[in-house]
């Protein structure tokens, strides 16, 4: 499993370096309040990174957090001792 993770990480690094090296054209990223001069490769890599982070946060808050909350509720209700009947 570690070998697979290492190979995937190396493939991503190689793809990012290739993307950056092949796209050396100047680009101006206008954020509305500031303009950042950069290369096209850096702009593409940052856009991909921001997209991955936004997607990960969407999945985390849309799926993972509700499932963890539901799991903790189920765990708390099954772990509670039965109440004595009087």
Residue 38 · residue 25 · CB < 8 Å: no
Predicted TM-score (pTM) of the model is: 0.72
- pLDDT over 90 percentage in the chain: 78
Q: What is the DSSP string of 50-77?
A: HHHHHHHHHHIIIIIHHHHHHHHHHHHH
Residue 44 · residue 19 · CB < 8 Å: yes
Residue that wins the pLDDT comparison between 86 and 40 = 40
Q: Torsion angle, CA of 75/77/81/82, rounded to 10 degrees?
A: -150
**Rounded to whole angstroms, how far apart are CA atoms 38 and 43?**
7
Q: What is the pLDDT of residues 20-47, one digit of tens each?
A: 899 999 999 998 999 999 999 999 999 9
């Amino acid at each position: 499993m570690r070998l697979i993770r290492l190979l995937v990480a190396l493939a991503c690094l190689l793809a990012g370096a290739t993307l950056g090296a092949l796209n050396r054209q100047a680009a101006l990223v206008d954020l509305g309040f500031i303009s950042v001069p950069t290369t096209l490769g850096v702009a593409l890599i940052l856009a991909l990174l921001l997209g991955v982070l936004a997607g990960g946060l969407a999945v985390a808050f849309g799926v993972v957090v509700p499932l963890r909350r539901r799991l903790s509720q189920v765990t708390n209700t099954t772990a509670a001792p039965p109440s004595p009947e009087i």
